[in-house]
Amino acid sequence: MGRVKVWANKCERCGYVWLPRTESKPKVCPNKRCKSLYWDRPRLRSITGGEGKM
């Protein structure tokens, strides 16, 4: 039995993994709950963390 490598996409926002149907890059995450346009970019955290806004 042989092994086959399969390329998959993973959403950096919700963690959803899917197999692409075409070779072009998808525009949005196909997860019904996510649909993020930024599926391929990790979420950026605030440096201040919300402190000092009084």
Q: What are the residue boundaries of the structural domains of the chain, listed by start?
A: 1-42
Alpha carbons 29 and 32: distance in angstroms, whole number: 8
Span 2-53, pLDDT tens digits: 898 889 999 999 999 999 999 899 999 999 999 999 999 998 876 666 565 5
pLDDT the model gives residue 31: 96
CA gyration radius, the chain: 16
pLDDT the model gives residue 1: 84
Alpha carbons 41 and 29: distance in angstroms, whole number: 11
**Nearest-CA neighbor of 19 among 27, 29, 9?**
9
